[in-house]
Structure 1
Amino acid sequence: MKKTAAFFAVLLVSSTAYAVVPTPTLPAAPPMPAPQISGVKAAVLIDVNTDQVLLDQNGQASYDPSGLVKLMTAYLLYQAEAQKMLQPDQHVSVSVDAWHAPGSRMFIQPGLPVTVDQLTHGLLIDGGNDAAIAIAQSVAGSVGGFVDLMNREAASMGLTQTHFVNPDGMPTPGQRSTALDIARLARALVVKFPQIEKVAGQASYRYNHITQYNYNPLAGQNGITGLGVGLASANNWDLAVSASQDGRGLVAVILGASSRAVAGTDAAAMLHYGFHGWQQQQIYPAGAMVAQIKRIDWSPETLSVITPKAINVVIPRPSQGKVESRFVAASNLQAPIKANSSVGTLDLLWQGKVLKTEPVLAKNAVAKAGWFSRLWHRAQGAL
């Protein structure tokens, strides 16, 4: 009897030892709060892949962009190379004006050999004003002609609050931009000319036996790919930083920081927020049907609306809720409509907020329906 009791006691202990304790249900963690960037005039953070603005602090206020002007100088230089107007290994004649350019320099001079590639490094790493003048003269023949190109390109990009006066960013009346415009320019630069990231993120560069160090306080750090630094006035620093991580890219722009170190600290906080506080999500693949429009005066009466490319968005971590879409037809949409023509836009919304807007296209062509087709469509609709 005692053995039997002991046996059941072992069974009881064994069964209770392996009992499963249910895990309590916890509320979802709140999204990471955006950093509060204090002591600067403006700050903007943009996701490169989706063109979404993740942080905007006074981003549309107009200020002197100082050395960040060189981002447009670099854009036009890469554009000239793409159009075969210049070659990276091509030697450039240095003018006296470029030689005597005030401010930061890479120390080019007349008669001293320098290539387009060396000027690119001097422009993006050292922020050389002499390099900017030499590039402007090589691309457009004159500084004035180059500035015209800068403003024309800014207008085509939709940088409506930006006006350039020179290619180097030296303080000049009338030169102005916004943190949002500079961020849009920086994004366009890394998207269209990704080769810039192999240059602008380097910590130093040596030319003419002189080692020049990158003024970007984050240069050389893991994931940092550029882009530019400016000093508008004493204790008035501007900074544009690009970075990549796990297939995503970000651009952070700071205007009017009290020091270079402060600009770097704030930009690093913005990048951390962008990479760790947001996640990318594909909403539609390329060619996905997002809407259909039916009209009895069309032939065929149904128009299918599709995405021209894959549509991605970034949403706060952790994901709470789902992304919704809203098709907005173009005003006065009338037949005939060609296949692959623009027929409206698609708003992507998260918790009622529009994350981004993408154009959408007609999958099929439609023509005006004749009287018999319209009569048939009415009859079909009545059934």
Structure 2
Amino acid sequence: MKRHTASLLSTIALLSIALPAIAAVPPHKGKPAGHAAKTASTPAIPAGPPPTAPLAVAGMAAPPLLPAQAAYVLMDAETGAVIAEKSPNLAWPPASLTKLMTAYLVYQAIAHGTLKLDQTVPVSDAAWHTGGSRMFISPGMTVTVDQLLHGLIIDSGNDAAVALAQAVAGSRASFVGLMNHEAAALHLTGTHYVNVDGLPDPTLRTTALDVALLSRAIVTKYPAYLKISVHKHYTFDKIRQRSWNPVLFRDPTVDGLKTGRTNEAGHCIDATSVRNNRRLIAVVLGGPSWVTSTNDIEALLDYGYQFYTDATVVSAGRIVGSMPVPDDQVTSIPVAAAHDVVMTVPTIAAKNFKTVVTYDTPPKTAIAKGATVGTITVSAEGKVIASVPAVAMASDQPAGFITRMERALKRAL
């Protein structure tokens, strides 16, 4: 009987996928509530402060307003710098953006060797009966971790989320505990999980900043996620489903990450793009439609790529000054940055850095090569953008007899 029910569901899914698109952005598949294309009132957008660009300098273009979004964050994936933000710490229902953490923990288990991509996972009744969007697994099926990850990321399958959670932790409750533990480890201070799939719950909350931080952790630690999220379709058990991510169909530079949709959450998109070898992450929460949220994601990405760049503001080993030393040592010691500093900076300031070295009081003992002797501060357009320890590039040596005599004579005169 179970198999017959699954077949009926499969037929329904195939029919829903075949429906023609009715908007410029490809619609989702008419799935049940939980990630549903269900007619509903738009969530109320709370009044809040206007968007800001934390790295901006004088003369910069203002960040996009995006009034239809409750919150947004635009982040540079390499540096972690927030380029633009609107209500970044506003508590908001994540809907299926919850599955970002589900996927993160699955990839973590694979990295630790407790789970394998080709490992077969049993499908429980709990997974089979999970509501909302589905990849349509059922008990008795042979399904692998890799297939479930595709169903989780592309189809946004709640059934896949439950099956994976049980494979990793034994139960959904135990997995939720792992989710909240990892959220704390990643400093997602505005996030609280109560389930593995994002189905509505009044205590399930996240923020735009936390979604961006988690997304950066995924693309940094587990880039294999993007090998799946880049796909526009996935076929399992002869059911071909379209990706929930509408930005994939608009922008060829986008290769992930996830979307979420409930009546309470609105149309939430977490997208990442690579242009000119630079990756940005854009998150919008609470949009009134997929079209609007897609347009707003594109506005954020365009703003970030046009007005900001990643620059090496200080290079390790490049001499930036000379430290004076006591008279009984050499005249000065060359200093440089302890390490490279790559920063996200406004494009208009990228070639106008000002570097200042502040020296510590010279020790009475000898200075060893590599010792910290001060601080290098980098500013642009009057705004400090980076500080890094200054280190000695050579050891000091005792001055020769003649040099010491010459110095003494100068002091006497």
Deviation at 1:344, TM superposition (A): 10
Deviation at 1:354, TM superposition (A): 5.0
Which residue is equivalent to 1:79?
Answer: 108
**For the residues of structure 1 that align with 2:371 and 2:199, how far apart are their CA atoms?**
45
- Secondary structure at the aligned position of 1:231 is classed as strand
For structure 2, which runs of at least 5 residues remain unmatched after alignment?
1-57, 327-332, 360-367, 396-407
Which residue is equivalent to 1:198?
Answer: 227
Which residue is equivalent to 2:26?
Answer: none
CA distance 1:66–1:320, change in 2 (3 Å):
same
User: What is the CA deviation profile of residues 235-284 of structure 1, one whole-angstrom value per residue up to 9, with x for unaligned ones?
Assistant: 71111001111110000000111112111110011011111221221112
- Secondary structure at the aligned position of 1:312 is classed as strand
**For the residues of structure 2 that align with 1:353 and 1:34, how far apart are their CA atoms?**
18
- Secondary structure at the aligned position of 1:318 is classed as helix
Which residue is equivalent to 1:319?
Answer: 349
Which residue is equivalent to 2:153?
Answer: 124
CA distance 1:303–1:155, change in 2 (3 Å):
farther
Which residue is equivalent to 1:280?
Answer: 310
User: What is the CA deviation profile of residues 44-69 of structure 1, one whole-angstrom value per residue up to 9, with x for unaligned ones?
Assistant: 00011111111111111111111111
TM-score (norm 1): 0.75
Which residue is equivalent to 2:271?
Answer: 241
Which residue is equivalent to 1:20?
Answer: none
**For the residues of structure 2 that align with 1:328 and 1:113, how far apart are their CA atoms?**
65
Letter in 2 for 1:129: N
TM-score (norm 2): 0.70
Determine if contact 2:372/2:392 at 8 Å carries over to the other structure: no
Which structure: larger Rg? 1
Determine if contact 1:293/1:303 at 8 Å carries over to the other structure: yes
Which residue is equivalent to 1:47?
Answer: 76
User: What is the CA deviation profile of residues 93-127 of structure 1, one whole-angstrom value per residue up to 9, with x for unaligned ones?
Assistant: 11111111111110111111111111111111111
Which residue is equivalent to 1:350?
Answer: 380
Deviation at 1:214, TM superposition (A): 1.0
Which residue is equivalent to 2:48?
Answer: none
Residues 336-347 of structure 1: matches in 2 within 5 Å? Answer: none
Once superposed, what is the RMSD of the aligned Cα atoms? 3.6
Which residue is equivalent to 2:293?
Answer: 263
**For the residues of structure 1 that align with 2:80 and 2:91, how far apart are their CA atoms?**
21
Which residue is equivalent to 1:334?
Answer: none
**For the residues of structure 2 that align with 1:254 and 1:263, how far apart are their CA atoms?**
7
Determine if contact 1:235/1:259 at 8 Å carries over to the other structure: no
User: What is the CA deviation profile of residues 299-339 of structure 1, one whole-angstrom value per residue up to 9, with x for unaligned ones?
Assistant: xxx9978434x32122223337623467899xxxxxxxx99
Deviation at 1:232, TM superposition (A): 3.3
Which residue is equivalent to 2:284?
Answer: 254
Deviation at 1:144, TM superposition (A): 1.3
User: What is the CA deviation profile of residues 348-383 of structure 1, one whole-angstrom value per residue up to 9, with x for unaligned ones?
Assistant: 54334454x67759779x9xxxxxxxxxxxxx9xx7
CA distance 1:83–1:339, change in 2 (3 Å):
farther
User: What is the CA deviation profile of residues 148-170 of structure 1, one whole-angstrom value per residue up to 9, with x for unaligned ones?
Assistant: 11111111111111111111111
Q: Please state if 1:154 is matched with 2:183.
A: yes
Which residue is equivalent to 2:260?
Answer: 230
Q: Please state if 1:167 is matched with 2:196.
A: yes
Determine if contact 1:289/1:307 at 8 Å carries over to the other structure: no
Letter in 2 for 1:152: H
- Secondary structure at the aligned position of 2:140 is classed as coil
Could you tell me the percent identity over the aligned residues?
A: 38
Determine if contact 2:319/2:334 at 8 Å carries over to the other structure: no
User: What is the CA deviation profile of residues 176-222 of structure 1, one whole-angstrom value per residue up to 9, with x for unaligned ones?
Assistant: 11101111111111111112111112111110111111111111431
- Secondary structure at the aligned position of 1:168 is classed as coil
Which residue is equivalent to 2:16?
Answer: none
Which residue is equivalent to 2:240?
Answer: 211
Which residue is equivalent to 1:307?
Answer: 338
Which residue is equivalent to 2:216?
Answer: 187
**For the residues of structure 2 that align with 1:345 and 1:132, how far apart are their CA atoms?**
49
Deviation at 1:291, TM superposition (A): 8.8
Q: Please state if 1:94 is matched with 2:114.
A: no
For structure 1, which runs of at least 5 residues remain unmatched after alignment?
1-28, 297-301, 330-337, 367-379
Letter in 2 for 1:307: A
Deviation at 1:295, TM superposition (A): 11
CA distance 1:283–1:254, change in 2 (3 Å):
same
Determine if contact 2:106/2:164 at 8 Å carries over to the other structure: yes
Determine if contact 2:315/2:337 at 8 Å carries over to the other structure: no
